[in-house]
């Protein structure tokens, strides 16, 4: 399916003023589905159970259509929920990123950490610096298909060249803001089983580009 910090800015599951309660309800369902509690530290994530719990307990409103996605979106937040219910911001409190959907059915995205290593120069870049830059970003391109609130990606280019099956996100639009809840999966960052939520904001076209 398509991430909150310990207090998440992921508004977008409801209209203004109701987002925190909706999000906390989602997190409670997540913890219960995963068999986690604040006292036992959680148990192994049940991927299928999590997906079912979210789909049945918190259905999202249907989008008007695929054209709602067209254009460029700027990343607002990226958080992930670990096995056991712990939440973290792996790319910092203010990660950077853009996501673009075209009317031709293609999608492209680039996401980077809030803070990335800054080598003195390309010529003097060390191998550890190269590794640091690689580990602090992810990028992909491919095709997308929207069915109701289910957005499916099929990658034909990805930054780490790891073979990917189709990736599914559950999405919700609230005005110019879009929230994506990924299906539970092993993270390419560290191999841990996580569920990631990203919040995006639509980028307005510059005045000169508007028709």
Return the pLDDT at 15.
Answer: 31
Residue 126 lies in a domain: no
Averaged pLDDT of the chain: 74
Sign for the CA dihedral angle at 112, 117, 121, 122 comes to negative
What burial letters (b/e) apply to 142-158, b meaning 16+ CB within 10 Å? bebebeebbbebebeeb
Cα atoms in the Cβ-side hemisphere of radius 13 Å centred on 53: 18
Instruction: Give the per-residue pLDDT at 40.
Output: 44
Q: Is residue 123 assigned to a domain? A: no
- Domain assignment present for residue 116? The answer is no
Count other C-beta atoms under 10 Å from residue 10's C-beta.
Answer: 25
The answer to whether residue 12 is domain-embedded is: no
pLDDT confidence bin for 187, thresholds 50/70/90: confident
- Alpha-carbon separation of residue 207 from 103, 138, 204, 210, 211 (angstroms): 21, 30, 9, 5, 9
Residue 104 in any domain: the answer is yes
Cα 75 from Cα 119, distance rounded (Å): 24
pTM of the full structure: 0.66
Distance separating alpha carbons of residues 111 and 91, to the nearest angstrom: 9
Structure tokens at 132: 């640091």
Identify the pLDDT of residue 84. 82
The whole-number average pLDDT for the span 99-116 is 95
* Count of beta carbons in the 10 Å neighbourhood of residue 8: 22
Higher pLDDT, 24 or 18: 24
Number of domains in the chain: 1
**More confident of the two residues 45 and 135:** 135
Whether 148 contacts 163, CB under 8 Å: no
Please determine, for residue 124, whether its predicted confidence score (pLDDT) is greater than 50: yes
Domain membership of residue 130 (yes or no) is no
Q: Does any domain span residue 122?
A: no
117, part of any domain: no
In this model, does residue 90 exceed pLDDT 70? yes
Average pLDDT rounded to a whole number, residues 100-122 = 91
Q: What domain range is 151 assigned to?
A: 19-110+138-204
Residue 125: per-residue pLDDT: 85
Mean pLDDT, to the nearest integer, of 167-186?
92
At 1-11, the pLDDT tens digits run: 443 333 333 33
Residue 23, domain CATH: 2.40.128.280
């Amino acid at each position: 399916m398509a991430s909150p910090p310990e207090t998440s800015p992921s508004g977008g599951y409801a209209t203004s003023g109701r987002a925190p309660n909706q999000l906390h309800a989602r997190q409670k369902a997540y913890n219960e589905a995963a068999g986690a509690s604040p006292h036992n530290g959680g148990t192994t994530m049940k991927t299928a159970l999590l997906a079912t719990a979210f789909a049945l307990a918190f259905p999202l409103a249907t989008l008007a259509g695929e054209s709602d996605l067209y254009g460029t979106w700027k990343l607002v937040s990226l958080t992930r929920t670990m096995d056991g219910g712990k939440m973290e911001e792996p790319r910092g409190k203010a990660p950077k990123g853009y996501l673009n959907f075209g009317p031709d059915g293609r999608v492209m995205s680039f996401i980077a950490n809030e803070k990335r290593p800054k080598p003195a120069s390309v010529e003097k870049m060390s191998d550890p610096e190269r590794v640091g830059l690689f580990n602090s970003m992810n990028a992909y391109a491919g095709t997308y298909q929207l069915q109701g609130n289910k957005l499916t990606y099929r990658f034909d280019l990805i930054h780490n060249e790891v073979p990917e099956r189709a990736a599914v996100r559950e999405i919700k639009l609230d005005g110019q803001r879009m929230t994506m809840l990924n299906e539970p999966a092993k993270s390419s960052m560290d191999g841990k089983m996580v569920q990631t939520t990203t919040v995006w904001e639509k980028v307005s076209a510059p005045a000169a580009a508007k028709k």
